[in-house]
Amino acid sequence: MSESFLYEQIAESIRQDIINGNLNPGDRLPSLREMTSRWNCTIGTVQRAYRELTQQGLITSRTGQGTKVVEKLPAQLETPLRRAALIHRAETFLLEVLTAGYSPPEVENAIRQALDRWRTLEHEEFPAPPQIARFAGSHDIFMTWLAGNFSDIFPGYALQLQFSGSLGGLIALAEGRAEIAGSHLWDKQSDSYNLPFIRRLLPGQKIAVLTLAHRRLGLILPKDNPQQIKGLPDLGREGIRFGNRQTGSGSRVWLDANLERAGLVPDHIRGYDSEMLTHLEVALAVAENKIDIGLGLEAAAHNYGLGFIPLTLEQYDLVIPAKIADTSPVNEMMGWFASSKAKKEIAKFPGYETHNTGKVVQIE
């Protein structure tokens, strides 16, 4: 092998070690003598490889201190290197879990749920760098999909999710901590969704309310329904373990109103106080036999091959201040929801109906 070609191989080998995390910022590289022995080449070849990496901004050499990986990668290299390193770590994780017998769909579901769980945690206020739209609000399985595909649909933009419940989303909007809120709050007095709450929490503001979809909400239970559950009244049966949603979520608001209507006392429901932060978390608890029944979306039940008893068809809206609705990428996103392509993607999720998807109501 020619010396001129070999130096490129040496440089690329070290570059890959940096990408894969085998060499971290500040780590010392082998000496010239060690490298010549390892690669069976001349010192000049190693020196040329090190010069190449120095010109790329990946390593630095100082007399008496040897050659080290730089403490801070150049801006033009940091993003691709970080992305490559993340892919490498993901592939290592996939190899481990696939070897352990898990299927790709199982792994994908687990990662999706872990991300959704992370998004429900309390975060400090995060800044909104250019080209990032911040979403806060009720957990939605399609919004998780959209965030993962946002940059493909709207090149150059990203969607940042924080699941904090419907009320939490509207509050984040009022406080300027988000540009988009996801809400499905049912008002029993008007038998309508979201608008009464928006008017109370965002008074005097011009708001665009875009319907994402209507979603089937109901009881998630084992597929064979061993307890012979038929509906809400069964939540009060002795021995039934129930999994609830958190206070402030749209599902919890709907449940509390309908428990009262049915004359059911929360204190008589075992597990009423066990709050779960996402629909997928409820479904997982049923799948793992931690609870007998939970309140959640049909799509979440389908994700785990569980049974489902529909209770209502709820309206899930995206709430957007008018001044935000005219900016990119939000304006582009609103137009996309009105397209047949968006409706086709949403309809892939069980229990999602798209007859009003893309419809916008303006609140003055």
The one-letter amino acid at 220 = I
Residue 13 burial (CB count, 10 A): 13
Give the mean model confidence (pLDDT) for residues 138-163.
90
**Which one is the CATH code of 82-213+316-363: 3.50.50.60, 3.40.50.300, 3.40.190.10, 1.10.8.420?**
3.40.190.10
- State the burial class of residue 60 (Cβ atoms within 10 Å of its Cβ: 0-12, 13-18, 19+): middle
Position 62 confidence tier, pLDDT thresholds 50, 70, 90: confident
Residue-wise pLDDT for 250-288, tens only, equals 999 999 999 998 899 999 999 999 889 899 899 989 998
Helix axes 104-119, 75-99, angle to 10 degrees: 130
Position 5 confidence tier, pLDDT thresholds 50, 70, 90: confident
pLDDT for 358 equals 96
Give the mean model confidence (pLDDT) for residues 73-87.
57
Give the mean model confidence (pLDDT) for residues 116-144.
75
pLDDT for 4 equals 54
Residue-wise pLDDT for 290-349, tens only, equals 999 999 999 999 988 999 999 999 999 999 999 999 988 899 999 999 999 999 999 999
Specify the DSSP class assigned to residue 194. S
The domain locations on the chain are 3-74, 82-213+316-363, 218-312
pLDDT for 202 equals 94
Contacts of 79 (CB under 8 A, 6+ apart): none
Q: Are 100 and 126 in contact (CB under 8 A)?
A: no
Asked if the 3-74 domain carries CATH number 3.90.78.10, the reply is no
Q: Is the pLDDT of residue 163 over 50?
A: yes
Residue 35 burial (CB count, 10 A): 21
Position 82 confidence tier, pLDDT thresholds 50, 70, 90: low
Please state, in angstroms and rounded to a whole number, the distance separating the CA atoms of residues 275 and 132.
31
End-to-end alpha carbon distance in the chain: 74
Check residues 77 and 162 and name the one with the higher pLDDT.
162
**Strands annotated E in 31-74:** 59-62, 66-69
Give the mean model confidence (pLDDT) for residues 230-247.
92
Give the mean model confidence (pLDDT) for residues 161-182.
92
Check residues 16 and 333 and name the one with the higher pLDDT.
333
pLDDT for 129 equals 46
Q: Is the pLDDT of residue 121 over 70?
A: no
Please state, in angstroms and rounded to a whole number, the distance separating the CA atoms of residues 89 and 114.
16
Q: Is the pLDDT of residue 99 over 80?
A: no
**Strands annotated E in the chain:** 59-62, 66-69, 132-137, 158-163, 180-183, 186-187, 192-193, 207-221, 242-245, 275-276, 293-297, 307-321, 352-353, 360-363
Same topology, domains 3-74 and 218-312? Answer is: no
What is the three-class DSSP state of 356?
coil
Please state, in angstroms and rounded to a whole number, the distance separating the CA atoms of residues 260 and 179.
34
Task: State both tokens at 309.
Answer: 């008893």
Fold of 218-312: D-Maltodextrin-Binding Protein; domain 2 (3.40.190)
